[in-house]
Amino acid sequence: MFIRDLSECKEIIAGDRSILRELFNPLKDDLNLRYSLAHSTIKSGQTTKNHKLKVSEIYYIIQGRGMMYVEDESREVKKGQVVYIPPNHSQKITNTGEEDLIFLCIVDPAWKPDYEEIF
């Protein structure tokens, strides 16, 4: 069994400028998984930098609301929704609400720096 508390995860500013805490990554943790999981926060009025991954990514919105941009498409997102971002698709998200926009990021295969390109 593997359990990690969010408060034990180091908070970093990711390349896209989100506040990120990596919950687990099998490339760093001794886990037999293909994917990584991170907790991301975007402050009210903030937008992440446009970026793309060579691999697929899923956002699960835990709190707040925002505007999700994938390639030329944009859609409102809110708590309880999930967003699939295909490999090699540009993406960014804007917090359009008053509270923090908080979501989980699942990257498959597991995130590593050379998978990401920031614009």
Instruction: Specify the residue for token string 């999981």.
Output: 37
pLDDT in tens, 17-44: 999 999 999 989 989 999 999 999 999 9
Is-contact 60 103, C-beta < 8 A?
A: yes
CA nearest to 33, candidates 42, 23, 45, 43: 23
The residue-averaged pLDDT of 5-21 equals 96
pLDDT score of 94: 98
The arithmetic mean of pLDDT across residues 83-104, rounded, is: 98
Measured CA to CA, the distance from residue 42 to residue 16 in angstroms comes to 10
Domain boundaries, the chain: 20-112
- CB atoms < 10 A from the CB of 81, how many? 14
Domain 20-112 in CATH 3.30.930.10? The answer is no
State mean pLDDT over 94-118: 96
- Per-chain mean pLDDT for the chain: 96
pTM: 0.94
pLDDT at 100: 98
